[in-house]
Copies of this chain bind each other. A is one copy, B any other.
Amino acid sequence: MIRPIINNVSVDCVIFGFDNTSLNVLLTKRELTDPESGEILLQDYTMQGHHVLEDENLDDAAKRVLKDKTGLENIFLKQFHTFGDTDRLLKEKDQLWIKTKFPMVLNHVITVAYYSLVDSAKIKPDQQHLDTKWFPVNELPALGFDHERIIMMALDYLRDEIRREPIGFELLPEKFTLTQLQNLYEVILNTSLDRRNFRKKVAHMKYVIPLDEKQKGVAHKPAQVFIFSRDVYDRTKKEKLDFSI
């Protein structure tokens, strides 16, 4: 059964992954070549997105895009902003792309943007589309449409959220070391944290549980591994009523 699309509304997903040294975004290559000369007319990257279907809720559209592009289900996904500037598809290269590939698309498309957090090791090469790859957020390639703006805003939301909610764990493997956890915070917040203070802080987090188990596959001094429990977090968090402005 063909499910018709809403041709002026889309969802886009900023998929963040962490590889222990950088925070990355999953992007898909966009390329146009001249059918006669073979000359490359356009080559850049875009995020994963698609039009919303007529009988589809927004969140379901975002989940569908994620599953199509990464094979993953039930991963962290949060709507953060909707972009609808009238000029967002009007750059010359974007118009060339649309007119060649998607002549039915309108010039004013409103996109509901989500960001997603994944353990990048979970996206195995064979699950990736051929031209999809990770880029560090601070070394983005040329991007289509307003996708650079969308990614930068997603990063602002992520930085804000990670200071208040334990969402960083979504970017780590199930079992992680404290060094990995510290790296994650340092990379996302773009700062360096004192190792001793960091460990003291984590020791007070009842929801970061040490296991009687060490890291595997490392040559020297394997470190202790930990798991994060959302159950424990939800049941022990204190409502902060105070305002900190």
Contacts and interface: CB of A to CB of B under 8 A. Distances in A.
Interface of A: 6, 8-9, 52, 54-58, 79, 81-86, 108, 110, 112, 162-166, 185, 189, 191, 205, 240-245
Contacts of A58: 82-85, 110
25 contacts: A6-B8, A6-B108, A6-B110, A8-B9, A9-B84, A9-B110, A52-B84, A52-B110, A54-B108, A55-B86, A57-B85, A58-B85, A79-B82, A162-B243, A163-B240, A163-B242, A163-B244, A163-B245, A164-B243, A164-B244, A166-B245, A185-B243, A191-B241, A205-B245, A240-B244
Contact of A82 (B82, B108, B164): B82
A164 to B, nearest CB: 6
A112 B57 contact: no
Given A241-B189, A241-B191, A81 B84 contact: no
A185 B6 CA distance: 42
Copy number in this complex? 2
Nearest to A166: B245
Contacts of A82: 58, 79, 82, 112
A241 B160 CA distance: 10
Specify which of A9, A166, A189, A245 lies most central, judged by the most chain B CB atoms within 10 Å of its CB: A245
Contacts of A244: 163-164, 240
Contact of A56 (B55, B86, B189): B86
Given A79-B82, A164-B244, A205-B245, 14 more contacts: A6-B110, A52-B110, A54-B108, A55-B108, A56-B86, A57-B84, A58-B82, A58-B110, A82-B82, A84-B112, A162-B245, A163-B242, A165-B245, A189-B243
Q: Can you list the 9 inter-chain pairs with the closest CB atoms, starting with the nearest?
A: A58-B84, A163-B243, A82-B82, A166-B245, A57-B85, A82-B112, A191-B241, A9-B110, A57-B86
A129 to B, nearest CB: 26
Contacts of A245: 162-166, 205
